[in-house]
Amino acid sequence: MWLRIEPRPEPSRLMRYLSPLLAVALMLTCGMVLFKVLGKSPVEGFKVFFLQPMADRYGVAELFLKATPLMLCAVGLSVGFRGNVWNIGAEGQLLMGALAGGGLALHFPASQSPFLLPAMFVAGALGGMLWAAIPAWLRTRFNANEILTSLMLVYIAELVVSWLVHGPWKDPDGFNFPQTRLFQAKAIIPVLVEGTRVNAALLVAIGALVVGWIFMNRSFLGYQMKVSGQAERAGRYAGFSARRTVWLGMLVGGCCAGLAGVSEVAGPIGQITEHISPGYGFAAMIVAFVGRLEPVGIFFASLLMALLYMGGEQAQQYLSLPYSISKVFQGLLLFFLLGSDVFIHFRLRLVRGRK
Amino acid sequence: MSHPDQPTPRIVLKGIRKAYPSVVANDGIDLEVQPGEIHAVVGENGAGKSTLMKVIYGVTRPDAGEILWEGRPVRIHNPAQARELGIGMVFQHFSLFETLSVTQNVALAMPGPFDLVGLARRIVEVSERYGLPVDPHRLVHDLSVGERQRVEIIRCLLQSPRLLILDEPTSVLTPQAVRKLFETLRQLAAEGCSILYISHKLDEIQELCHKATVLRGGRVTGSCVPAQETPKTIARMMIGEDLPVFQHGEPTGGGEVRLRLENLSLVPEDPFGVVLRNVNLEVHSGEIVGIAGVSGNGQQELLWAISGEEPTREGESVQVCGVPAGRMDSSRRRSLGLCFVPEERLGRGAVPRLSLTENILLTAYRKGMLVLGLIRFGSARRFAEDCIKRFDVKCGGPDSEAKSLSGGNLQKFIVGREIMQNPKLLVLAQPTWGVDVGAASFIRRQLLDLRESGTAILVVSEELDELFEICDRLVVISKGCLSPPKVTSETGVEEIGVWMSGLWPGDAVGGSGEAPDVA
């Protein structure tokens, strides 16, 4: 008796939605084993990593706070991914959005205008879009692969941030720390629940999910992107512009990532530092796929991913494990998801006898 | 037309049954083929012909039944085993890798050492011997449908099969090429190779095949010696009733020009593509114009230029309803009243993984399916339901994915979608390719009706019978040049056949000599 992988006659709908759950279960199992190997009690490890962060009101609020940039980036990316536009550079677009929005806050240190914060979000969106426009232009003009160019631009963005906070934008009264002045009160996103850090950017993110859902499922533009992504020749036959698909996919991704950047610097951080994002732009790709490129799925997947981030912090504190443990969990999740996704199109069959 | 009588049949099928979740494709089928016999399997789309052939070729395993290969019971588990036994198959849907060259594709199916140079030589030999010209170094991606089929046939012949299965092989060949293929097949049969010939072209079966087995709804409904039957009697066995006959009304003529090609010259992006030279053509409202030609003579390129999938440099060179449209993309041309049925259904005319409702939107969205950029799925769905009903598309309903439909049914769906938009100008490539006789005659009827209502129709087809049946005027395309038009009733298959090899009177071969900014 042996197992054989054979193609399914129809892709399995059930498996499409079961696969992320299976991946989470496998990630947890593997995580337990990992704790055991590292000499920690798996039960204790599970508690610290996955339950403790959500133990109180503050913890739950933190969860939503961390999920906010993930939701924003992931919904923007999935618009592109559905159209076969592979924007890998959300992290860089997030940083440029943070610089554009944060730069506005720094430029008007005394403004009392209620429009400052909205203007920062607009600037952030434009900053992200500008950064995303470079790979879009390179792709449509020179047919340069956007996977490579958008990724390379992440490192350029990181260096630009680093240069600004070490140089021109450094806080003169900051004891030479590489960071800007703290933003003034009018440039900080209001907190939603008193006593926690969760802020109104969450509403922006949920708004983005709703708009994203309408765009992807109900709008003709979203439909055109889907067609171009799935069958380029059909798109050309119908007269849908392939260039527009690339531009839209990149710009929407950049816009959302830019908003995420503002939500961080004008939210929990309150200034621009060298460490704006602990890899939200990259983690958002995992979120997008775990969430099946659908806004509802992305909502839950971003909470899960936020939990992994918080669990990593907790594990550092209580289990004296390195913070990179949360990256290991992220990797496991993606790995198992890709593995489980195979069974959407294939199935295992037990075959008796003859090899 | 005799074949050697030998004691053991080449292959015997007994009680083959294959059930799919929604349909019983084969239900107790018996079939016997002698060595050197050309045996036709006929039936409408969905009669179970393809399933039966897949069973023989080891692609599908039957639920019940027995196969005897040269007298021995065998279980054929996969195509590789089938090929080892000596069974070769040319599929209706080609199984070639587009990004590989002809030789590489053939090499994949060949056992033994991997010798591309030697193989290329053998391909040329076989292609010359059997009159199937193809360049072994070209990428399959760039080949036309007809050329791809030649590759498939050559691939089989290289393995000297003892049973060759051909699924609708002549649908893309000129009459002369069909002659040539038939010679090849007769030669093969005389050498002792058995041939299973799937087709619904009854005249061909009569001419070529020694025996015929007729399938309907997964069962054998009759078998006959085709030479002793008429197309009419075989058709009755196939569809259970007589075919409708229709009258070709007089051309209304004199209508306004809906499509004008004016000195259209085009060098395609694809280096292996055919260069169009000085193409001139007019299609008037209320007439059907047909373009005949062997595949790979510029039909694809011409259709791209007309549909707008490959815009031209001068706006004037393509005029749709009087508007210079050469530089417009296909969407803007559609706004002028153009509808288009492409040669490839899956991936071009329809998106495989989208539902039929969503595939309606692909081109018919102008028919009130959008409000403020949002989709009215209800109205798209109603359109899909109408189309399924009117064109008798066999499917699970408007939510079925396009790829779940059989080729013929998807074709009916796409033709229906384009016709139901009431175009001013309708351009069709191979409108009835792979569609069964009943449906093909229905589609032609629809085209004639559409003509009566004043639509200008351009049909590009490699099936001459079809063109003669429905067209008012014919032109021939050869090596990227277009012949002068000919009124259908004033010409015949022989003349058009000669023109198809590029020999027409007047400013013939290779165009008018001067070909601006091409060459």
| Phi-psi domain of A98 (left: phi exceeds 0; alpha: psi -120 through 50; beta: other) | alpha
Interface test with B, best of A220, A223, A237, A345 (most B CBs within 10 A): A237
How do the residues of chain A divide into helix, strand and coil, expressed in percent and rounded to 5? 70, 5, 25
Torsion of CA B12, B13, B15, B17, to 10 degrees: 170
What is chain B's pLDDT, residue by residue, as a tens digit (519 residues)?
444 455 689 999 999 998 876 567 888 999 999 999 999 998 876 678 888 988 999 988 899 999 999 999 999 998 889 988 999 988 766 778 888 999 999 888 787 777 888 899 999 988 887 777 888 999 988 887 677 878 888 888 888 889 999 987 876 666 667 787 888 889 889 888 999 998 877 788 888 999 999 988 888 988 889 888 887 788 778 777 665 555 566 655 568 899 999 999 988 877 777 889 999 999 999 999 999 987 778 898 999 999 998 888 888 899 999 999 989 989 999 999 999 999 888 899 999 989 999 999 999 999 999 999 999 999 999 999 999 999 988 888 899 889 888 778 899 999 999 999 999 999 999 898 777 777 888 899 999 999 989 999 999 987 787 898 899 999 999 889 999 999 988 888 878 878 887 788 875 444 443 333 333
Domain spans of chain A? Answer: 67-190+206-289
Residue B332 is inside which H or E element, if any?
Answer: helix B330-335
Contact call for residues A309 and A327 (beta carbons, < 8 A): no
Interface test with A, best of B340, B360, B374 (most A CBs within 10 A): B374
Interacting residues of A298 by C-beta distance below 8 A, sequence separation 6+: A71, A74, A75, A78, A209, A287, A288, A291
**Predicted local confidence at residue B344, as pLDDT:** 87
Q: Do B308 and A230 touch (CB under 8 A)?
A: no
On chain A, the residues whose CB falls within 8 A of the CB of B340 are 237
Q: In angstroms, rounded to a whole number, what is the distance separating the alpha carbons of residues A59 and A295?
A: 24
Please name the residue of chain A whose CA is at the shortest distance from the CA of residue B346: A234
On chain B, the residues whose CB falls within 8 A of the CB of A243 are none
Of B332, B349, B404, the CB nearest to A239: B332
**Predicted local confidence at residue B489, as pLDDT:** 87
On chain A, the residues whose CB falls within 8 A of the CB of B349 are 234, 237
Q: In angstroms, rounded to a whole number, what is the distance separating the alpha carbons of residues B80 and A26?
A: 38
**Predicted local confidence at residue B2, as pLDDT:** 44
Of A10, A214, A223, the CB nearest to B361: A223
Chain A nearest CA to B364, separation (Å): 10
Q: Do A233 and B347 touch (CB under 8 A)?
A: yes
> Between residues A163 and B176, which one has the greater pLDDT?
A163
On chain A, the residues whose CB falls within 8 A of the CB of B333 are 239
Q: Which residues of A touch B (CB under 8 A)?
A: 10, 214, 218-221, 223, 226-227, 230-231, 233-234, 236-241
Q: Do B347 and A231 touch (CB under 8 A)?
A: yes
Of B350, B374, B404, the CB nearest to A234: B350
Q: In angstroms, rounded to a whole number, what is the distance separating the alpha carbons of residues A37 and B337?
A: 70
Q: Do B349 and A240 touch (CB under 8 A)?
A: no
For the domain bounded by B246-337+423-519, which CATH number is listed? 3.40.50.300
The mean pLDDT of A133-137, rounded to a whole number, is 97
Contact call for residues B197 and B40 (beta carbons, < 8 A): yes
| Mean model confidence pLDDT for chain A | 92
Please name the residue of chain B whose CA is at the shortest distance from the CA of residue A225: B362
- Residue ranges of E strands in B157-275: 163-167, 194-198, 211-216, 219-224, 257-266
Domain spans of chain B? Answer: 11-239, 246-337+423-519, 349-420
Interacting residues of B221 by C-beta distance below 8 A, sequence separation 6+: B214, B215, B237, B238, B240
Chain A nearest CA to B477, separation (Å): 22
Q: For tokens 């559409």, what's the residue?
A: B450
Interacting residues of B180 by C-beta distance below 8 A, sequence separation 6+: B130, B131
Q: Do B404 and A10 touch (CB under 8 A)?
A: yes
Tell me the residue length of chain A. 355
This prediction has a pTM of 0.76
β-partners of residue B487 are B473
Q: Do B353 and A230 touch (CB under 8 A)?
A: yes
| Phi-psi domain of B510 (left: phi exceeds 0; alpha: psi -120 through 50; beta: other) | left
- Residue ranges of E strands in B217-317: 219-224, 257-266, 276-284, 288-292
Provide the 3-class DSSP secondary structure of residue B342: coil
Q: Which of B296, B292, B322, B324 is nearest to B311 (CA)?
A: B324
Radius of gyration of chain A (CA): 22
Of B331, B334, B352, the CB nearest to A231: B352
ipTM of the shown complex: 0.82
Q: Do A220 and B342 touch (CB under 8 A)?
A: no
Q: Which residues of B touch A (CB under 8 A)?
A: 307-309, 329-334, 340, 342, 344, 347-354, 358, 361-363, 365, 370, 373-375, 404
Provide the 3-class DSSP secondary structure of residue A169: coil
DSSP A243-304: HHHHHHHHHHHHHHHHHHHHHHIIIII-S-BS-S-SSHHHHHHHHHHHTTT-HHHHHHHHHH
Other CB atoms within 10 Å distance of the CB of residue A313: 17
Q: Do A236 and B370 touch (CB under 8 A)?
A: no
Q: In angstroms, rounded to a whole number, what is the distance separating the alpha carbons of residues B360 and B380?
A: 6
Angle between helices A201-218 and A57-82 (to 10 degrees): 30
**Predicted local confidence at residue B5, as pLDDT:** 52
Other CB atoms within 10 Å distance of the CB of residue A204: 20
Q: Do A239 and B375 touch (CB under 8 A)?
A: no
Other CB atoms within 10 Å distance of the CB of residue A67: 27
Please name the residue of chain B whose CA is at the shortest distance from the CA of residue A236: B309
Torsion of CA B420, B424, B429, B433, to 10 degrees: 30
Contact call for residues A337 and A286 (beta carbons, < 8 A): yes
Query: At residue B112, what is the residue type?
Result: G
- Residue ranges of E strands in chain A: 2-7, 346-351
**Predicted local confidence at residue A272, as pLDDT:** 96
Provide the 3-class DSSP secondary structure of residue B127: helix
* pLDDT over 80 at A170, yes or no: yes
Provide the 3-class DSSP secondary structure of residue B16: strand
β-partners of residue B292 are B476
Same fold flag, B11-239 and B246-337+423-519: yes
On chain A, the residues whose CB falls within 8 A of the CB of B375 are 218-220, 223
Query: How many contacts (CB atoms, under 8 Å) link A and B?
Result: 63
Contact call for residues B424 and B456 (beta carbons, < 8 A): yes
**Predicted local confidence at residue B333, as pLDDT:** 94
Contact call for residues A276 and A265 (beta carbons, < 8 A): yes
Q: Which of B437, B460, B436 is nearest to B343 (CA)?
A: B460
How do the residues of chain B divide into helix, strand and coil, expressed in percent and rounded to 5? 35, 25, 40
- Domain B11-239: give its CATH architecture: 3-Layer(aba) Sandwich (3.40)
Q: Do A234 and B373 touch (CB under 8 A)?
A: no
